[in-house]
Structure 1
Amino acid sequence: MTTSMVMASSHKIFLLFFFITFLLFPNTQAQYYVSHICYSNQTFAANSTFQSDRTKLLSSLASNNAIDFYNAIVSSGGDTVYGLFMCRGDVNLTTCHQCVVVATQRLPSDCPVSKEAIIWYEECFLRYSDRSFFSTIDTRPRYGLRNIDNVSNPASFMRTLYDIMNKTADEAAKPAVGEKKYASTARGEIVPFRTVFCLAQCTPNLSPSDCRWCLSGAIGDLNWCCNGSEGGRVLYPSCNVRYEFYPFYLLEAPAPTPTLAIVPLPGSQGKALT
């Protein structure tokens, strides 16, 4: 058996184990780090006022454990630091808070002197900047992540997938009053005997039209990152879309006390384009 065959076999065994675990323990969530991007066009000096303000901002974000979206501003007379976090729409507040805390601890190490940065996890994302970005659409930098396995009929699959994703985006962009700009869809028969699970979400401070515009761009970029793949996602700072052939989101309301485990993301390939 060749090395590539062994790797493929191991990957399929892991996914089978993951799926069985999900079915047996539906309230257990694994915390996956996805990616981060440090903007390199502006930096700050060590021990500067901006560094102190960033520390205060991240502490403020990490301390909010009663909501799944929060934005904050910190200014000490010099540069202003803007920041926010958002959790995936199905994630409960306990999981959300733990994800945000981990993100605030990791991002300063990954981007030690960047005046702007963003980090994505499965359950949440967090960003900060020296410019005001609240209520604006940011589609760059973008990050794409694809499953390493491909479908047998890519052209037909992608046509149907776009239709499902656009309907999911329509629902996410126009939620009921008081609801999140988040939607998920499960649909069978796109591939025989299999169900595709789709998700679309915007930051809640976007207007419905801005949310839909953002999601349209992300759906269009599925061709850039994930054409013909069995799973993929496009992450923007203001919105994101994803599809898989397994239930990566909770199909029912989450339990209040999940079990977390930090594990590597299996069977995927990612790329960023600023």
Structure 2
Amino acid sequence: MAKLSVFLLSLLLFSFLIIPSASAGDDYTAFVYAGCSQPQYAADTAYAYSADSVLTTLANAAAFGPYANSTSGAVSGVLQCRADLPLAVCAACVRSALSELSTLCPSAAAAAVQLRACFLRYGNDSFLGRQDTSLLYKKCGAPAPPANSADFLGMRDASLGALVTAAAPGGYRVGGAGYVQAMSQCVGDIGPKQCTDCVAAAVTQLKSWCDGANAGEAYLGKCYARFWSNGGTVYSPAHEDHVDEAGKTLAIIIGLMAAVALIIVFLSFIRRAGNGK
């Protein structure tokens, strides 16, 4: 079987994701995209057995670490989970990814699927250890509110810039400025320099394609980058001082009302005592 040397060109892509406004509510098994090669393998062939062996190995490995790769015969495979999540989440995500592959890409000679918390890929195109900054999938959120748009862009750029300059083990990086958050993840078969270059390419894609959007994500061959808004409220010392002053004012008002009530009760008691004489 001929090698699939240009994976992206041979893929049929599927995507159904609506970008959430914040990662806190993420469904870790939410579908992002899948790609299936047009060439397929026949059942009961050496390639079929190799593909099954690779996927089984990766499924088992997900319980022990966020990254793993496997090779059997002509087939290689890789999985990458978000490094900040528990291994149980990784294992569950990979199981869901395998289910998506069996539904969307049955018997595909090469395929990849990205869920919110994990990435799974297999094929015979020798992709392990090789840099790949080709864009596989991107999506932008709704337009950001026009008010304070310059501030939002500044926070977005600062958050994304932190991803490029960060140096984190496992390729997982986070950034944040104001109410804008960002994260990125590289596949574990590339080195730190390749990871930084890939994230920088993803950030460039986001700034180009999602300029003015309140969220965006770009998935490249060996990494992805995301940014999103937490809602537009920036808690600053001035804001906290304002809240404190409001609290003090409310406490004073309540105290005055309580004092007036006590005076009324006291005067009523005195009046009743005078009438009883």
Distance in 2 between residues matched to 1:158 and 1:43, nearest whole Å: 45
Distance in 2 between residues matched to 1:112 and 1:140, nearest whole Å: 24
Select 1:180's aligned residue among 164, 167, 170: 170
User: Are 1:165 and 2:167 an aligned pair?
Assistant: no
Distance in 1 between residues matched to 2:185 and 2:76, nearest whole Å: 21
Mapping 1:170-249, distance limit 5 Å: 170-171=165-166, 174-175=167-168, 179-188=169-178, 195-246=179-230
Residue of structure 2 equivalent to 1:32: 30
Deviation, 1:230, is 0.7
Seen in structure 2, the aligned counterparts of structure 1 residues 129 and 141 have a Cα distance that, compared at 3 Å, is farther
Deviation, 1:156, is 6.3
Distance in 1 between residues matched to 2:75 and 2:195, nearest whole Å: 24
Select 2:66's aligned residue among 46, 50, 68: 68
Seen in structure 2, the aligned counterparts of structure 1 residues 196 and 160 have a Cα distance that, compared at 3 Å, is closer
Query: What CA deviation, in whole Å up to 9, does each residue of 1:207-226 have, x standing for no partner?
Result: 22111111111111113442
The answer to which structure has the higher strand fraction is 1
User: Are 1:58 and 2:55 an aligned pair?
Assistant: yes
Distance in 2 between residues matched to 1:124 and 1:136, nearest whole Å: 19
User: Are 1:115 and 2:109 an aligned pair?
Assistant: yes
Paired residue secondary structure (1:62):
helix
Select 2:76's aligned residue among 72, 82, 86: 82
Residue of structure 1 equivalent to 2:248: none
Higher relative contact order (Cα pairs below 8 Å, separated by 6+ residues): 1
Distance in 2 between residues matched to 1:159 and 1:187, nearest whole Å: 9
Distance in 1 between residues matched to 2:202 and 2:174, nearest whole Å: 15
Deviation, 1:239, is 0.7
Seen in structure 2, the aligned counterparts of structure 1 residues 111 and 87 have a Cα distance that, compared at 3 Å, is same
Paired residue secondary structure (1:148):
coil
**Contact between 2:59 and 2:91, CA under 8 Å: does it hold in 1?**
yes
**Contact between 1:165 and 1:219, CA under 8 Å: does it hold in 2?**
yes
Query: How many residues are aligned here?
Result: 211
Residue of structure 2 equivalent to 1:25: none
Which amino acid in 1 is paired with 2:189?
N
Mapping 1:126-165, distance limit 5 Å: 126-152=120-146, 157-158=152-153, 160-165=155-160
Seen in structure 2, the aligned counterparts of structure 1 residues 141 and 30 have a Cα distance that, compared at 3 Å, is closer
Distance in 1 between residues matched to 2:149 and 2:187, nearest whole Å: 31
**Contact between 1:154 and 1:227, CA under 8 Å: does it hold in 2?**
no
Deviation, 1:141, is 4.7
The answer to which structure has the higher helix fraction is 2
Residue of structure 1 equivalent to 2:263: none
RMSD: 2.7
**Contact between 2:152 and 2:180, CA under 8 Å: does it hold in 1?**
no
Structure 1 residue ranges without an equivalent (≥5): 1-10, 23-27, 189-194, 248-274
Find the structure with the greater CA-based Rg: 2
Distance in 1 between residues matched to 2:172 and 2:54, nearest whole Å: 26
Distance in 2 between residues matched to 1:238 and 1:159, nearest whole Å: 27
- Structure 1 length-normalised TM: 0.69
Seen in structure 2, the aligned counterparts of structure 1 residues 38 and 29 have a Cα distance that, compared at 3 Å, is closer
